[in-house]
Amino acid sequence: MGILEVKNVGKRFGGLQALSDVNLSVKENTVHAIIGPNGAGKSTLLNCLVGKLIPDTGSVMFDGQSVLGRAPFEINQMGISRVFQTPEIFGDLTVLENMLIPCFAKRDGAFELNALPSVQGQKDVLEKAEHMLEEMNMADKRHMHAAAMSRGDKRRLEIGMCLSQEPRLLLLDEPTAGMARADTNNTIDLLKEIASERDITIAIIEHDMHVVFSLADRITVLAQGTPLVEDDPQNIRGNPKVREAYLGESA
Amino acid sequence: MDAILLQILNGLDKGSAYALIALGLTLIFGTLGVVNFAHGALFMIGAFCAVTLQRILNLSFETVDPEKTDFLGAPLKVKTPYVEAWFGPEMGGAIIDWAVPLAILFAIPIMIGVGYVMERGLIKHFYKRPHADQILVTFGLAIVLQEVIKYFYGANPIQTPAPDALNGVVNLGAVIGMDIVYPVWRVVYFFFSVLIIGGIFSFLQFTTFGMVVRAGMADRETVGLLGINIDRRFTIMFGIAAAVAGLAGVMYTPISSPNYHMGMDFLVLSFVVVVVGGMGSLPGAVLAGFMLGVLESFASMNEIKSIIPGIDQIIIYVVAIIILLTRPRGLMGRKGVMED
Amino acid sequence: MFGLEKRDTSMLIIVAVLTMFAPFILNPFPEGSALAQFNAGYPDLMQRFVIFGIFAIGFNILFGLTGYLSFGHAAFLGVGSYSAVWMFKLLSMNVVPAIILSVIVAGLFSLLIGFVSLRRSGIYFSILTLAFAQMSFNLAYSVLTPITNGETGLQLTLNDPRVLGASATADGSIPVTNLFGLEMRSTFELALGPWNFQFNAGYYLCAFILLAAFYLTIHIFRSPFGMMLRAVKSNQQRMNYTGLNSKPYTLAAFVISGMYAGLAGGLMASMDPLAGAERMQWTASGEVVLMTILGGAGTLIGPVLGAGFIKYFENIFSKINDGVLHSWFSFLPDGMENAMVTLIHPFVGKGWHLTLGILFMLVVIFLPGGLVEGGQRIAAWIKRKRAGDDAPAGKTEPAE
């Protein structure tokens, strides 16, 4: 049994069958990549996992519990964190405040009317956030407005925010999309470090084969809304079916 | 039965006004993405176009009638409007009598001009600002416009009667053997608004211009990429929306004497109408306009008021709240409009 | 001090000084001088400053922090006023129970409206709150007349069944509101030469409550809760994917700001025990939006400044008539004097709303951050200028 079990998931938008009969098992403490050409249903699948979409059929189990019908915030509290394709951070807040919010969420739960004592007075959370910033090499930027940072830094911050919640499963949606080569390599290094040092499972959706093959322990290829093949990276590389899916029949 | 039919009809004229204002609001929102709180003021300005034309037509000169004297024995001064002097008493009198319908011609260029200036001078700069800013700046503009009108025309309602020929009542029920007495002007108003709504819809449906605007409403960026100057067309659309609101105001003057705050009164309800219809949906705006107008007049029937007292005061809001909570995008709203 | 950061403490002290010495600050011109019409140190006007200040501070907790633009907050103020007047009619002329009840009732009412309205966001939220407020206004005018006394407004009468206290005083008049015996209308006048300063009990009660409200607001702004509210405004998506449910946060902010509005309404009725439906109209809601924006939404001191600014100019501008204008420009030749008066006439007196509308537009267009941002810009400009002047000159003359 994997930590994430997707069984027979199907999703239809009007006339388009976006996902059909998707089965997927992500083993604990591995990096599992989901790849596939444009329109293969990768993002739809991800949205089904985090509660943004509800599949028409099938089941999604996380650590033995169904995630279906739960709101995104509840799924997050089960231990699933998500990194978006374009970094979703609190742009109007400072970097430190960005980091403080997940730390408070971790301590106080979904809602706490923590309205009288000041943020500065709550040392435990403050220390945790500062520590996380240091780990992300962002301590010097703590008073910057998050929106003013470069894309690579925003990505780093977003990943840090997710990690500070100590999730068991980290979902990454094309984490290097639109990044310069140097930023991409930095992000790969960061993710490698996270995967090796932490007790965490990572599921990653990616376009960039360079990223996929430098990170993944296991790869699922999605085509036209259904898994084509699931295998180890070295076997995927040579698989003719995969090539066909990416390049069309002419290949 | 008669009473119910009469209530439906009574609702239609108010519903027409809601529909026309909501249509303009939706056009502006759909094309420009701007929430225009000054749209009610455009309705009001239209109404005051009618007032102005009536005053212009009534401009008079005084002559002394040597044959008649007033009660003090002094020679009587007689006021003659210039139009009567120019076109003869018959023709001139008719022109004055028909001031409100004539004001349509007078109002169209004025309203388009007002709309153009508003869009180029102010709204244009707010396309990229948050909706809250748009609401606030147009709210400020609405205050300014209504205060300007108040300054020039005073705070009291100004009577602007319909032409004598259209001022009576007609028994609409005669054909079907019922007794439904209804003011002629309201019938005129209803058909006028149907005509305008039909005109707008066919304009958008059958002309290239309309096609581009509809495409722009659906996906502004792509149309811009095709090398079409979408901005200019949207400016024209703003002018048209202003004209629609203005004409709705012109024709409404005989139904209720215009005053400076009529725009605000209608605006709140029209916004509710737009939201009920679905932000960005033209058919939704028209449908919701008529629906809420009719519901409102039903609720003001004594039979209904005796069951639920005060329902006539709040029916529109209650319906709006129920619809928004059950159908969050309104009756015919599209996905992704005004949602973050 | 008071568990606050240094900057916030100084802000609190500034507000405290401004409110406590308002009778002096607002009365700078001697009686009978030409400028005396710019004085604003009258009890009823000063009461309005602080009451609307409380209203705007509360509104800012919702709008300034979460970005949810409510167009129906006047309804809570109105409800607060009605509750307070009922308390005077039924229980006692003491303002304490009246104010407490008005806060509670407004809180419950805002919980109900907020629960429904907050299911939508953006423009839909604004329209829903607007719809609720207009509905309350219409109801107060019509069916609820037994509770609200309709168009006339709710007033005290000589035969109110006051449980603690008499229906009428010994000389047969309606009793006045008091705080444990201290009459709200009692005013101590201090004549210093040509100056006449008025210290009103009601004003000081309102001022102390404003200070308390402001102090509480600082705490809310600096708390994790306040940070969460700003996070709601910044990115709800990330909020949800951080395991936080934004609904209870926004609802709590809505209810808190509704309670501030109810407090303002209760104080209004405590100063002058009557309540009318027009307090609930959407133009009244628009006014508080305006105060907040003008002062600076999302800033601590902005709403207080905005409320003071608007209420001051409303009072002063609407008092200026043609006679006053003529006296100002009497030094000019006749023709120019008349021209100046004609030019200014539309903007003053009854035309005050025109000025207000123009001001509103100018602020939204050029100064979205309000007066606070304006002040910061001027401060930065002066700083730059100083730095620029100093550098080439190499030495500075003592400036003061």
C223 neighbourhood in chain A, CB within 8 Å: 114-119
Average pLDDT over residues B30-36: 81
- Close Cβ partners of B162 (under 8 Å, ≥ 6 residues apart): B100, B184, B185, B188, B254
Q: What is the ipTM metric for this complex?
A: 0.90
> Does any CB of chain A come closer than 8 Å to the CB of residue C152?
no
pLDDT at A250 over 50: no
**A101 close to A161: Cβ distance less than 8 angstroms:** yes
Q: Do C353 and B147 touch (CB under 8 A)?
A: yes
Q: How far apart are CA C151 and CA B97, in angstroms?
A: 38
User: What does the pLDDT look like over C119-141, one tens digit per residue?
Assistant: 888 888 888 898 888 889 888 88
Residue C301: helix, strand or coil by DSSP? Answer: coil
**Minimal CA–CA distance to B324: which of C368, C124, C149?**
C124
Domain residue extents for chain C: 39-281
Give the rounded percent of residues in chain B with a pLDDT score beyond 90.
18
**Residue B99, both tokens:** 């001031």
At residue C314, φ and ψ (nearest 5 deg) are -60, -45
Q: Do C122 and B140 touch (CB under 8 A)?
A: no
The answer, yes or no, to whether C and A have at least 3 beta-carbon pairs within 8 Å is yes
Domain residue extents for chain A: 4-79+167-247, 92-153
Which pLDDT does position B271 carry in this prediction?
Answer: 84
pLDDT at B48 over 90: yes
**Residue-averaged pLDDT of chain A:** 89
Say which of A110, A116, A119 has its CB closest to residue C245. Answer: A110
**Minimal CA–CA distance to B285: which of B222, B241, B340, B231?**
B241
Say which of A101, A115, A121 has its CB closest to residue C231. Answer: A101
Q: What is the DSSP string of C238-262?
A: HHHTTT--HHHHHHHHHHHHHHHHH
**A119 close to A126: Cβ distance less than 8 angstroms:** yes
* pLDDT category of residue C389 using cuts at 50, 70 and 90: low
| Separation of CA B69 from chain center | 46
User: What does the pLDDT look like over B236-268, one tens digit per residue?
Assistant: 888 999 999 999 999 998 888 888 888 877 888
Closest CA of chain C from A123, distance in Å? 12
| Number of domains into which chain B is organized | 1
| Residue numbers of the domain that contains B322 | 2-326
Q: What is the DSSP string of B145-205?
A: HHHHHHHHH-SS----PPPGGGSSEEEGGGGGT---EEEHHHHHHHHHHHHHHHHHHHHHH
Q: Is B132 inside a domain boundary?
A: yes
Which pLDDT does position C366 carry in this prediction?
Answer: 87
What is the CB neighbour count within 10 angstroms for residue C15? 23
Q: Kindly identify which residue of chain B lies nearest to residue C288, measuring between CA atoms.
A: B136
Inter-residue long-range contacts of B197-201, CB under 8 Å, 24+ positions, other chains counted: B197/B19, B197/B20, B197/B23, B197/B286, B200/B23, B200/B27, B200/B240, B200/B244, B200/B282, B201/B282
**B331 close to B278: Cβ distance less than 8 angstroms:** yes
* pLDDT category of residue A96 using cuts at 50, 70 and 90: very high
Which pLDDT does position B220 carry in this prediction?
Answer: 67
With 0-12 / 13-18 / 19 or more C-beta atoms within 10 angstroms meaning exposed / middle / buried, residue C387 is exposed
How many residue contacts between B and C have a Cβ separation below 8 Å? 111
Q: Kindly identify which residue of chain C lies nearest to residue B140, measuring between CA atoms.
A: C357
Closest CA of chain B from C249, distance in Å? 18
pTM to 2 decimal places: 0.88
| Separation of CA B168 from chain center | 22
Beta bridge partners of B72: none
In single-letter form, the type of residue at position A143 comes to H
User: What does the pLDDT look like over A115-154, one tens digit per residue?
Assistant: 888 888 899 999 999 999 998 889 999 899 999 998 888 9
* pLDDT category of residue C110 using cuts at 50, 70 and 90: very high
Asked if the A4-79+167-247 domain carries CATH number 3.60.20.10, the reply is no
Q: Do A102 and C242 touch (CB under 8 A)?
A: yes
pLDDT at C320 over 90: no
* pLDDT category of residue B231 using cuts at 50, 70 and 90: confident
- The CATH number assigned to the domain holding B12 equals 1.10.3470
Q: How far apart are CA C187 and CA C199, in angstroms?
A: 5
**A180 close to A208: Cβ distance less than 8 angstroms:** no
pLDDT at B31 over 80: no
User: What does the pLDDT look like over C336-364, one tens digit per residue?
Assistant: 888 888 888 888 777 888 888 888 888 88
Q: Do C244 and A90 touch (CB under 8 A)?
A: no
Say which of A81, A90, A116 has its CB closest to residue C235. Answer: A90
**CA torsion, ordered C121, A115, C239, B220, to nearest 10 deg:** 30
pLDDT at C394 over 80: no
Q: Which of residues 203-242 of A touch C (CB under 8 A)?
A: none
A170 neighbourhood in chain C, CB within 8 Å: none
Q: Is B143 inside a domain boundary?
A: yes
